[in-house]
Homo-oligomer: A and B are copies of this chain.
Amino acid sequence: MTRTRATTPGPDASLQFDSRGGLRHLLTLQGVMRTQVQALIERAEILRRESGGGTRPLDLLRGRTVINLFFEPSTRTRTSFDLAAKRLGAQVINFDIASSSTVKGETLLDTVHTLEAMHCDAFVVRHREAGTPEFVAASLRSRAAVLNAGDGNNAHPTQGLLDVMTLRRHRADFAPLRVVICGDIRHSRVARSDVHALRALGAGEIRLCAPRELAPAPEEFPGCIVRHDFDEAISGADVAIMLRLQKERMQDAAIPSEAEYFQRYGLSSARLKQARPDCLVMHPGPINRGVEIAADVADGPQSLILEQVANGVFMRMAVLAELLAPDRHAAIGA
């Protein structure tokens, strides 16, 4: 597994699901069924109400221990998981990699087994190597759950879930939607999880737009339309999901400058006019203003970007609750 590998490791579905098809871990959205996505959205909406929008602490996970194992820096995702777990009453250990024994050369698995031995109920794992959360899940010796918080270019399943949760608040029916995802599709875990989530809910048409060098292998996204011209791709779109550009990718794509990237693949208000008038704008953040999206579009009336962030906490609460307290789910949902 190297950092630049563009293909996705085959997820081991049997690992993610228990014998009755329920979620045991959340590693990828590939293979997750429509009813499961819908149930998680429903649960997130319930938790949103029950928590008073994040102001009323719940105790669904009282006594549970959640460990954030972040091997990549992250503002929003780690804080979002942190708040989600704490607002459900769990103890959270933020595992600071820089100050951890990994500097002494402890292997990832020894770290995981050590933390398991101290008893923990969930690992939230982010790692630059695709497949790390799956690797951790396969190696567990306890009943702990693994939540993938982003692994290489493979998957970012809670992002996919929060994106469709957010979208569903504005568009009840996904069937007629034309969604364009634009940016470095090739290396984007967000694109992959978004496509899986949108597919699960039956989105009508998914267009993937990227510079030729950053386009995905065609076989990886069967049924999606791949385009290299953003003006063409956004035409008539109902939803535009813009991806963050990693600076180092610009060079791979032989794009000489951020201004040049913005001119060709950035979402300006002029370009947004080529989409449908009510086209919704999404971005997983953090935003590069003036690179992949204009500031006025990011802050404009069609932007759902901060709603995505808000829903992220509720969706992560839902996933934690689903994995760690499935039985109390029924009671709440009843």
Q: Are A73 and B287 in contact (CB under 8 A)?
A: no
Q: A217 interface residue, CB < 8 Å from B?
A: no
Interface code A80-101, partner B: CB below 8 Å = 1, 0 otherwise?
Answer: 1011001100010101101111
Inter-chain contacts of A98 with B (CB < 8 A): 98-99
Q: Are B87 and A91 in contact (CB under 8 A)?
A: yes
Q: A8 interface residue, CB < 8 Å from B?
A: no
- Of B74, B79, B110, B141, the contact of A285 (CB 8 Å cutoff): B110
Q: Which of A38-89 contact B (CB under 8 A)?
A: 52-57, 62-65, 70, 73-76, 79-80, 82-83, 86-87
Interface code A187-228, partner B: CB below 8 Å = 1, 0 otherwise?
Answer: 000000000000000000000000000000000000000000
**Secondary structure call for the A interface:** mixed
Q: A313 interface residue, CB < 8 Å from B?
A: yes
Q: A327 interface residue, CB < 8 Å from B?
A: no
Given that A76-B114, A110-B285, A119-B310 are contacting pairs, would A91 and B86 also be in contact in the complex, using a CB cutoff of 8 Å?
yes
Q: A105 interface residue, CB < 8 Å from B?
A: yes
The CA of A80 and the CA of B95, in the complex, are separated in Å by: 12
Given that A119-B313, A287-B110, A309-B117 are contacting pairs, would A83 and B75 also be in contact in the complex, using a CB cutoff of 8 Å?
no
Given that A75-B106, A96-B99, A287-B110 are contacting pairs, would A83 and B65 also be in contact in the complex, using a CB cutoff of 8 Å?
yes
Q: Are B53 and A119 in contact (CB under 8 A)?
A: yes
Q: Are B63 and A57 in contact (CB under 8 A)?
A: yes
The CA of A107 and the CA of B289, in the complex, are separated in Å by: 9
Q: A334 interface residue, CB < 8 Å from B?
A: no
Q: Are A65 and B75 in contact (CB under 8 A)?
A: no
Sample of 9 more A-B contacts, CB < 8 Å, known A75-B95, A116-B306: A56-B63, A57-B62, A57-B63, A75-B102, A76-B114, A87-B91, A110-B285, A117-B306, A118-B313
Nearest residue (CB) in B for A291 is B105
In the complex, the 4 A-B pairs of residues with the closest C-beta atoms, listed nearest first: A75-B101, A54-B119, A117-B309, A106-B286
Q: Are B309 and A110 in contact (CB under 8 A)?
A: no
Inter-chain contacts of A104 with B (CB < 8 A): 73, 244, 286
Interface code A281-314, partner B: CB below 8 Å = 1, 0 otherwise?
Answer: 0000111110000000000000000110110110
Q: Give the distance to chain B from A194, nearest Cβ to Cβ, in Å.
A: 19
